[in-house]
Amino acid sequence: MIAEIIAIGSEMLTPFRQDTNSLFLTERLNEVGISVAFKTVVGDNLEHLTSAARTAIGRVDLTVLMGGLGPTQDDLTREAVAAALSIELKRDNDLVTELYKRFAERRLQMPENNAQQCDVLQGAVVLRNSKGTAPGQWLEMEFEGKPRMIALLPGPPHELHTMWDMEIMPRLREKAPRAAFAGRVLKVAMMGESAVDLRAAPIYKKYPNIETTVLAAQGQVELHLRATAATPEDAQAEADRLAGELEDELGDAVFSSHGESLEEIVSYYLQMRNMKLAVAESCTGGMVAERITSVAGSSRSFLGGVVVYSNDLKTLFADIPPLMLEAHGAVSREVALALADNIRELCNADIGVGVTGIAGPGGGTEEKPVGLVFVAVSNGHKNDVVQRRFFGDRERVRRWASQQALDMVRKMLM
């Protein structure tokens, strides 16, 4: 069974934006044994959109259209699919009423143009959108003598993901072929891609039924394993066996054995050990705190911290002596350690983190170049501080530095 994903929106035909939703959808489709044969991006243009819809419906079993379901005049997906199939659109008055209610609950008046979101393709099932106003649609029909499935879904990722998992996946599981898939995702911190692959490749090559993909991001290498077998249990057992071998080889550089993010792992370990964390950040400017607090329930183990961008604040909030700043500079091993140790004591935390560095693009010197970062972790008995030089732009340096900090907390908790 093959699918085509059509991403709709003129912004994705500019040099500035890309469709990324299709990556999520591809993963989910592969899970139920459906391959993606085509991906198309088309603008908010009725003629083009109709052409794209007709072409897709003609050549694949499942056509997924994302976007163009909103209330504006640019939102043409419903109309285009109706034109491609030569069928009617009918306004669903119950849906209109619901939409009015939704606005009323928020004490807002519904703008008139919202009603077009309730135009439904003849024969289609309406898919409720729990995260937004635009409903989706699901249509099964014959086209040129062949059975076809068509999904119209909203473009905003959080709306799309929820609707996909709630409404589309159960329908596809019923239709999809019987071959079973199972996966595992291992994540490795602070190692290069080729260094990881050099050790991992001899192992994963022994498993021809498992597709292994190596992906690198800032300070993180991911190993995606996808096993195929007769039953889901067999596939999972295979994937688990390879994952186990890889973990043995890579040791504690593997921070995640089921795809969790580094911040989730740190939050989890902290809660397990009933320990509290506090942070004092300079160059990362709140990124370490932001990443930790992105995890639901992190308030149970994260107390908070300080963003001490200026030297005065380093002294005011983290008790860094002005003399230390003068003697060693704000970007130094000594200040990183003092930030970690002081914030721990001040906040009455179990573990403290200190980060100081030069994120760039300005502010670098011969002695202290852009990308130089000191990260320290302290638990009162033991301190650890590392000096690193990260390459790339401001965002990249900050991201690597926050990754280094979280990974050091993880190792201290192990």
Q: Per residue in 79-101, is it b (16+ CB within 10 Å) or e — as a string?
A: bbbbbbbeeebeebeebbeebee
Q: Identify which range of 24-32, 144-152, 264-272, 403-411 contacts its own copies by CB under 8 A.
A: 24-32
Our finding on whether 78 is near its own copies (CB under 8 A) is: no
Q: Is 15 in the site for its own copies (CB under 8 A)?
A: yes
Q: Which stretch binds its own copies (CB under 8 A): 28-36, 241-249, 321-329, 373-381?
A: 28-36
Closest CA to 135 of 80, 70, 62: 70
Burial 3-35, CB ≥16 within 10 A → b, else e: bbbbbbbeebeeeeeebebbeebbeebbbbbbe
Rule CB under 8 A: choose which of 313, 324, 345, 384 binds its own copies.
313
Nearer to its own copies, 136 or 357 (CB): 357
Which listed residue (10, 261, 271, 315) binds its own copies by CB under 8 A? 10
Closer residue to its own copies (CB): 4 or 124: 4
Size of the site for its own copies (CB under 8 A): 101
The least distance separating its own copies from the CB of residue 409, rounded to whole angstroms, comes to 15
Exactly one of 33, 61, 74, 234 binds its own copies (CB under 8 A); that residue is 74
Query: Rounded to the nearest whole angstrom, what is the least distance from the CB of residue 268 to its own copies in the complex?
Result: 16
Q: What is the CA radius of gyration of the chain?
A: 26
Is residue 365 part of the contact set for its own copies (CB under 8 A)?
no
Find the shortest distance in angstroms from Cβ 256 to its own copies: 14
The least CB distance from residue 183 to its own copies, in Å, is: 9
Q: Find tokens 């291992």 and name the residue.
A: 186
Number of CB atoms found within 10 A of residue 145's CB = 5
Length of the chain: 414
| Distance from chain centroid for Cα 155 | 16
Rounded to a whole number of angstroms, the minimum distance from the CB of residue 88 to its own copies is: 25
* Out of 144, 177, 296, 366, the residue judged to bind its own copies by CB under 8 A: 296
Determine the Cα angle at 24 with ends 269 and 403, to 5°: 35
Does residue 304 bind its own copies (CB under 8 A)? yes
Instruction: Give the shortest CB-203-to-its own copies separation in angstroms.
Output: 13
* 8 Å CB contact between 49 and 77: yes
Decide: is 44 part of the binding site for its own copies (CB under 8 A). yes
Residues in region 241-280 near its own copies by CB under 8 A:
278-279
Least CB distance from residue 123 to its own copies, whole Å? 26
Q: Does 27 bind its own copies (CB under 8 A)?
A: yes
Q: Which residue of 121, 210, 266, 308 would you call a contact of its own copies, by CB under 8 A?
A: 308
Among 241, 388, 394, 411, the residue binding its own copies under the rule CB under 8 A is 394
- Taking CB under 8 A as the criterion, the residue among 123, 147, 244, 363 binding its own copies is 363
Q: How far is CA 366 from CA 41, 154, 171, 372, 388, in A?
A: 47, 51, 61, 11, 15
- HSE on the CB side for 270, CA within 13 Å? 30
By CB neighbour count within 10 A (0-12 exposed, 13-18 middle, 19+ buried), where does 75 fall?
buried
Closest CA to 293 of 259, 267, 255: 267
Give the DSSP letter string of 231-294.
SHHHHHHHHHHHHHHHHHHHGGGEEESSS--HHHHHHHHHHHTT--EEEEESTTTTHHHHHHHT
Asked whether position 364 contacts its own copies by CB under 8 A, the answer is no
Do the beta carbons of residue 268 and residue 383 sit within 8 Å? Answer: no
Specify the stretch interacting with its own copies by CB under 8 A; choose among 139-147, 239-247, 373-381, 386-394: 386-394
Contact between 104 and its own copies per CB under 8 A: no
Which of 398, 404, 406, 409 lies at the binding interface for its own copies (CB under 8 A)? 398
Say whether 370 sits in a helix, a strand or coil.
coil
User: Can residue 41 be called a binding residue for its own copies (CB under 8 A)?
Assistant: yes
Give the burial string for 314-341 (b: 16+ CB within 10 Å, else e): beebbebeeebbeeeebbbebbbbbbbb
Q: Which stretch binds its own copies (CB under 8 A): 85-93, 236-244, 387-395, 403-411?
A: 387-395
Scanning residues 125 to 154, which ones bind its own copies (CB under 8 A)? 131
Please state the closest distance from residue 30 (CB atom) to its own copies, in A.
7
Site for its own copies, residues 189 to 218, rule: CB under 8 A? 193-195, 197-198, 201, 211, 213-216
Residue pair 176/183 in contact by the 8 Å Cβ criterion: no
